[in-house]
Amino acid sequence: VGGRGGGGAGADIISTVEFNHTGELLATGDKGGRVVIFQREQESKNQVHRRGEYNVYSTFQSHEPEFDYLKSLEIEEKINKIRWLPQQNAAYFLLSTNDKTVKLWKVSERDKRPEGYNLKDEEGRLRDPATITSLRVPVLRPMDLMVEAAPRRVFANAHTYHINSISVNSDYETYMSADDLRINLWNFEITNQSFSILSWGPRTGWLERRVLRYDSFQPHQCRNLYLLSYPKHLLFVLFFFCPAVFEEPEDPSNRSFFSEIISSISDVKFSHSGRYIMTRDYLTVKVWDLNMENRPIETYQVHDYLRSKLCSLYENDCIFDKFECVWNGSDSVIMTGSYNNFFRMFDRNTKRDVTLEASRENSKPRAILKPRKVCVGGKRRKDEISVDSLDFSKKILHTAWHPSENIIAVAATNNLYIFQDKVN
Ligand SMILES: *[C@@H]1O[C@H](CO)[C@@H](O)[C@H](O)[C@H]1NC(C)=O
Ligand SMILES: *[C@@H]1O[C@H](CO)[C@@H](O)[C@H](O)[C@H]1NC(C)=O
Ligand SMILES: *[C@@H]1O[C@H](CO)[C@@H](O)[C@H](O)[C@H]1NC(C)=O
Ligand SMILES: *[C@@H]1O[C@H](CO)[C@@H](O)[C@H](O)[C@H]1NC(C)=O
């Protein structure tokens, strides 16, 4: 799914992907401030070998470019994160955020429209009162299904730095938004006030210049708030706001100019069970047990062959790319992105891993993805690709995994790929 006219260059580059809680809806946000929602079709009986496909359900402009005159700053419309609220009535609600402003959207369906107004004509123009001679009773007439998106709340002016995460709390009355140095708590009903629940001044000693990111996990039966944040390669888990610090001792023999940059955490996720934490840094994915703070229980190499290329990756700024990572529905498989439109999967039980590619040339509809291999030095086999011919402009930063099935969504610049298990 891709391409669109208008907007600035690269406006259609996908910047976030998120399934709703049952996986029937999939929302993407892009650099141009647009949100596209896909809905999974009902399975049809005569096509048993095919499962429901995802089709566009609604498209709307969530954020527009703005200008902050006080700080003389341009505020980009790019959507940084989307979070669904659980469905409570016929409408769907989601939060979308750019660098500064979070919006609550209501997405609803309409298949009837009122006709026969007394003071307006059918186009909505006011009628001349002199021509109104009789009283009509308006009626509802069926029409083609229309999906409408309307902003219900706008939460602004609470972040100095760029918002990088939002998460809805299990009371569904509050949510949190985080930038590099602060986490704010909001009530959905109150847009002019938020509580700063954690904030680090840019100059607080050893936390100087360190970046905060977070995820939250709240078991349904209790209202405990477990909050997780991470400056550089440190991980803080706050149990009732008492922090536990997770840190792996550094191997001094591995220290280099790039150590701090490549160990900087670009994404962090609680497992569905709440027992594990996954972190992504530039070269690896690590799984931590909440009961063990001094080292990760698993470390997976995403693209270790880039170790020898760190200089050029620093020069072209790729070393600062923020790759995300996701769990599958049962926490047994991990997925994360790489370059050349490659993405990686790690099976935690069998310890097997695979590299797959999301590209138009190599993935025809309903074809089976072939594992790809990168070769490091030596002789290159026919089906392998050499490190030197990887395309670093094609990166997979954002992916999502269906909450209960083996369906994944992979954003490759302005294309969205949805892959699913082969059905017989
Ligand atoms: C996810 O979207 C589907 C699809 O339309 C809806 O039926 C379902 O209730 C949503 N799930 C949740 C938990 O909101
Ligand atoms: C927020 O808005 C409400 C309603 O307009 C008002 O009563 C309240 O005082 C405002 N709060 C702040 C902190 O501005
Ligand atoms: C040190 O580097 C080697 C590869 O060069 C890697 O296998 C090892 O995991 C690294 N050690 C740490 C603690 O990162
Ligand atoms: C997670 O992945 C494993 C291995 O592919 C699979 O057996 C399991 O069904 C997946 N779980 C979910 C909920 O998709």
> CA 146, CA 419: separation in Å to the nearest integer?
28
Separation of CA 407 and ligand 4 centre (Å): 10
The distance of Cα 59 from the centroid of its chain, to the nearest Å, equals 17
Q: Average of pLDDT values for 70-94?
A: 92
**What are the structural domain ranges in the chain?**
1-98+102-109+145-154, 231-419
**For residue 363, what pLDDT band results from cuts at 50, 70 and 90?**
low
Higher pLDDT, 161 or 170: 161
Is the pLDDT at 91 greater than 80? The verdict is yes
**pLDDT tops 80 at residue 332:** yes
CA nearest ligand 4 atom 14, residue = 405
Q: Looking at per-residue confidence, does 365 or 337 come out higher?
A: 337
CA distance 46 to 367: 21
What pLDDT does 35 receive? 97
Distance CA 199, CA 159 (A): 11
- Mean pLDDT of all residues belonging to the chain: 83
The residue whose C-alpha atom lies closest to atom 5 belonging to ligand 1 is: 24
Phi-psi sector, 346: left (phi>0), alpha (psi -120 to 50), beta: beta
* pLDDT above 90: percentage of residues in the chain: 46
Q: Quote the pLDDT of residue 3.
A: 39
Q: Which atom of ligand 2 is nearest to the CA of 191?
A: 1
pLDDT value at residue 219:
44
Which atom of ligand 1 is least distant from the CA of 92?
14
Q: Is 251 in the pocket of ligand 3 (CB under 6 A)?
A: yes
- The CA distance from 386 to 394, in Å, is 15
> What is the 8-class DSSP label of residue 161?
S
What is the per-residue pLDDT for 356?
95
Ligand having the closest approach to the CA of 191: 2
Other CB atoms within 10 Å distance of the CB of residue 77: 23
Q: Work out the pLDDT band at 78, boundaries 50, 70, 90.
A: very high
Cβ–ligand 2 distance for 424 under 6 Å, the answer no
21 CA → ligand 4 middle, Å: 17
pTM across the whole model: 0.82
Calculate mean pLDDT across residues 233-247: 53
**pLDDT band at residue 299, thresholds of 50, 70 and 90?**
very high
Q: Which atom of ligand 1 is nearest to the CA of 20?
A: 1
Most informative mutation of 247, 248, 253, 254 for ligand 3 (most atoms within 8 A of CB)? 254
Question: 28 alpha carbon to ligand 4 midpoint, in Å?
Answer: 23
**Which of 154, 193, 194 to probe ligand 2 with, by most ligand atoms within 8 A of CB?**
193
Instruction: Name which of 36, 183, 151, 177 is nearest 98 in CA terms.
Output: 177
Model pLDDT, residue 50? 58
